[in-house]
Amino acid sequence: MELTVAEPRTALSLRALLSLMALSREGDRREGILLRQGKGWFQVSGMGHEALAAIVYAMRPDDYLFPYYRDRALILARGVTNYELALAYLAKKDSSSGGRQMPGHYSDRERNIFSVATPTAAQCLPATGAAWGFKMEGSDQVVVTSVGDAAVRQGEFYEALAFALQEKLPVVFVIEDNRYGISTPTEKFFPYRLGALGEDSLVRVDARDPLEVYEKGEAAINKARRGDGPTVLWCELDRLCSHTSSDDQRVYRQADDISCDQMRDPLDNLARELIHQGVLTPEDWKTELEQIERVVRDEYDLAEHTPDPQPEAIMEHLFGEPAPLLASPVTFGEPAATMVSAVNQTLLKALEQDPRTIIFGEDIEDPKGGVFGLTKGLSNAYPSQVFNSPLAEATIVGAAVGLATTGWRPIFEIQFMDFIGPALNQLINQAASLRWRTCGEWSCPFTLIAPYGAYLPGGSLWHSESNEGMWAHIHGVNVVIPSTAEDAAGLLWTVIHGNDPTLFLLPKHIFRKRTPVRPECEPIPLGKAAIRRSGEDITVVSWGNCLELAEEAAERMEDEGVSVEILDLRCIVPCDYEAIAQSLGHTGRLVVVHEDARTTGFGQSIISEIVSKPDWFNLLLSPPQLVARQDVHIPYHPTLEYAALPDLNDVLSAMRLVME
């Protein structure tokens, strides 16, 4: 059954909208039945929120919707079919996520419906990123993003709202206020009720009335399309169901409270109004409900018999296909350069090559040009592509997600990798999983540059941590760590043109060290280690700052008649395990040196991988050794800092041990 809704100003269109609302309601009801039958594992309902579907009809097909999990009716109004939602509920192979997402986590690239992530308010910052991109390119496209009332206490909602107001972005925030965050009444928490936020951009909506939803939604969308900035629609409605199938609202709500909400059911009220107006007869409405019930039942039955996802496909779409290596236009005028200058030149060429490349970060505009000078001169050269960000790391990464998904090439900077904490929600729950959770339908390739690491006294624990083992654990994100100027330029050029989110970490201790460069910079593929020193007795695997320790230790061991091969990984993810095994084929001894902590540092992963494969384990002549930081934070006083970090004697001791 195909249900379409015309512009819902007329009785006829309200009639069709009523049918769509009924379709949404029946889909929720059918899923509840199936769950009780043991067919399915979880359900989240949109009962009571159906009238919000009216706002979709003020949108154009090229506008974007960033919904949340209670927006079934909006999704249907946007063109997703009941059958597609049935596939998603049953987690089937042909569902939008291939069975990887819970029901209610909608996604449709063709219809510009951004993939829902469970963490509340996580969609708000990517929505503003997309809206920012539309504004910069001169498009009159609009973004609509919805969020539950409890979620507006999340810091990311405030960051998104502040960013939208600051830049007058074409975005409409739809707050679906059903007065509950699971079991907790939100009245005393809701910021607009508390007067915590100004009301200049706020519009209150009785979201039980679809005409009011449409009219106020249309006004907000038109305002955004004119370039007059964002609107917050405070939509008051009722949740006519428990939070999810795992919840029972009768435990924490009074019966008369639930009954009062049922009396305001937007579906029943609209039906009664249309019957009263003579647009609909009770008999026709009863017949249509029976028809909708049959169609929904049949489509869920049909979906039930489609193929399930296959286990062997679990790793598909974690990363995109490697992009072709494009010749780099970066040239070096001297025989040696620093990583800082190499990054600066590479960024300049990227801005020059592609007007959809954008750089965003704290203090990166001239005259400062970044706290380390990485972006010096760039905003003067390209003022429409290089921008200072607010002091808000979640905004930086969240905006990157929204921009990247709409065709931009964000190259954003975090001042120190230690400060990534506020942005982890966006990095882990949006960027890293987006491609995988949509089976490749969505992707967000962006580059996040951050200085990292210690061996630079005075940094303390919020300017000197490395933690690359933690970043390697974020599935779906590349982790790149150059150690020379040439590698910094070649790897950065590759990731800028890549297909996935990448952390590009610059080791602070050595990023001003001048290293030899060839006149023409070549792009470097990810996951290819470099041999920094050839040897026959010991393989030392390292990266970043600790390569200096490895080099110095190798010189000392040569005096003792021991030949050391040094392998610079350059990339933690993807990791070149084959190069390590190849080196072990002629040395038989392994030492891994890194400045991250010992416990769950990436060195443990390397050693585990080597010893777990019989062919590689049989290459070993002695137990592998790990040289790492103690499991402690980096202190401020230089003496204490170096006490925590691996030093030359630690590396020498490990080398001598594997030679015994």
Inter-residue contact 402 to 412 (CB < 8 Å): no
Provide the angle, in degrees to the nearest 10, between the axes of the packed helices 82-89 and 11-36. 20
Q: Residue 455 burial (CB < 10 Å; 0-12/13-18/19+)?
A: buried
Q: Which residues make Cβ contacts (< 8 Å) with residue 561, sequence separation at least 6?
A: none
22-55 burial, b at 16+ Cβ within 10 Å, e below that, comes to: bbbbbbbebbbebbeeeebeebbbbbbbbbbbbb
Structure tokens at 566: 């040094």
Helix (H, G, I), strand (E, B) or coil at 628: strand
Q: In whole angstroms, what is the distance from residue 120 CA to residue 162 CA?
A: 18
Q: In whole angstroms, what is the distance from residue 390 CA to residue 396 CA?
A: 8
Closest CA to 169 of 160, 182, 181: 160
Within 311-407, strands assigned E span 336-337, 357-361, 386-388
Give, as one character, the DSSP assignment of residue 375. T
Structure tokens at 214: 């449409």
Measured CA to CA in angstroms, residue 442 lies from 385, 405, 475, 499 at distances of 24, 7, 16, 11
Structure tokens at 25: 């309601």
How many helices, marked H, and strands, marked E, lie in the chain?
23, 21
Closest CA to 75 of 46, 117, 35: 46
Structure tokens at 151: 């979620």
Residues catalogued as catalytic:
463
Amino acid at 69: Y
Maximum separation of any 2 CA atoms in the chain, in Å? 99
Phi, psi values for residue 592, rounded to 5°? -110, 130
Q: In whole angstroms, what is the distance from residue 282 CA to residue 275 CA?
A: 7
